[in-house]
Chain A
Amino acid sequence: MERTKIARDLSRLIGKNKVSVDEALLRIYSKDPLGNVGKALAVVFPISSNDVSKVVQYAYENDIKIYAQGSSTSLAGSSLPLEAGIVLSFERMKRVLEISLVNSYVFVEPGVRIDDLNFELASKGYMFPVDPASSSVATVGGAINSGAGGMRGAKYGTMRDWVLGLELVLPDERGSIVFSGCKTLKCRQGYDIVRLIVGSEGTLALVTKAYLKITPLPETVIVALAFFPKLEDLMEAVVNIKTQRIQPYILEFLEKKTAEIAAKSINSNINIEGHMLLVGIDVNREAGSRYVEWMKKILIRHGAREVQTAESWEEAEERGLFNIRRSLFVAQSKIAREHYKNVKDAKVMLLIEDIAVPPSRLVEAVEGLKELEKKHGFITMLGGHVGDGNLHPSIGFNALDPKESKRAEEWFKDLIDLAISLDGTVSSEHGIGLAKKDALRRELDARGSVKLLEIMGNIKKVFDPKNILNPGKVV
């Protein structure tokens, strides 16, 4: 159907100022961080579940595709309007509706950004602990639907551990509005639809409200930043820490060269004496110094060269102990850009990967990645959440160079094989989207479980009989 007619119809249904078919605007709702350019026909900005429902009814009736978007930061291509269709942007539904400490939940609209939510919660001493590196932009709806995780994953898990209940608009004839899950922490409501929606990437239903679990902010966090000349030693230290009856708040790793580049990119004066390990443990203030001493001992006993510590989160911030880890993305982009500085007409793309292996196999994974670096000749940046075995190896390549794009593809294939061969998984928190459909198939195949894809396909059909929600993604 043509653009202007869609605009006219939708304007009549939900209001003129909530619909746009402005060409320049369509362009910026058609892009994503992978460099894809999709085909938005119209972009719609609902402000209520009813708006969403009306748009869905209309799309159902007229066989038009719908692509939900939060902030379009998905690294798997999940938010891309692949075929011509309506982009449903949740950015105007960003209210925090209720914070209930006694019930341990926060009730929100999907468009609120995670950091904005945490800003409000912090004033009451609470937090929503899922913290993707993109939390300053990423929306709750996007995080739910991509099953996001973050630095605190080892302690707090990912999105699937924090969603209590969801209001959903279903892609049926009436655009039915239903509520799945509970307001209570415990809930046995037949099959667990909430968990099914988490990570479903906008292919099954549209999330219009959410009850999320919250948790108190720790009193403080002690921090240790250590450098290990030998990777095995670092991993030994991790294993040891993980058997000490504590659950670290953060446990982050950067490979030596990556740490060096990252430190250089922000002019840090911290000496990079090897592979970097960043440990944070949430403690009571009074216990701070005791834990610091104890952690320092463990790290040094396992061969750490240089150890810097802080007795509180504020002190660690002040001394810049998080800065190197936080600058990973900046460093990744910088190194890639510099590499192609002299190449005319280069479109530098970053491939930020997202495998996980059981933490006990991390050494093998890192060794394997080094092999891949040699084999394909890309500078590989490597960091990750060692607490839960999630690694984010990344490479930069010139997308305008067909040979290089092909090599990048091969690197990616090998990486997937590596993850599978180490009993790991191909996507820990970024999702499947477009980028990992084949990888998912291979993972399931390796486990003799391809049948599950068929089941997933059937689930999709049950929810979305006309295949209008985010078609072509996941399955």
Chain B
Amino acid sequence: MVRQRDSGTPAGQVVNIYRKLMRRVRWVLSRAPHMIRCSEFEDFILDYLDDDLPSAEQRKFDFHLRLCPECRIYLDAYQTSVALGRAVCDELDDAIPESVPEDLVAAVLAAREFGYEGG
């Protein structure tokens, strides 16, 4: 499921070996006090972004973020995606309204006349 990029090229192989090694290192580190695993880090992201993490968890989160490049990349991409979604939808809000089917306008006005109050 996960793409291993450029794994055919020598440089790509080095990168993949390096990342595999770093995962091993992180796994060893994850047994240290205050160190959480990536999967636990994942569970903290929402509250972290809402400034809702209790201070002990906040410290663990920050510590993991410093040590784990994969979670740094992940969080960066996660926040970038949220920001892109917001920007693209705001853009739509500012756009010139698209044309409305005339039968919708007619239906809305007819409903008003008959006192329909929404569903």
The answer to whether A and B assemble together is: no
Q: Give chain B's interface residues, CB within 8 Å of chain A.
A: none
Q: Give chain A's interface residues, CB within 8 Å of chain B.
A: none
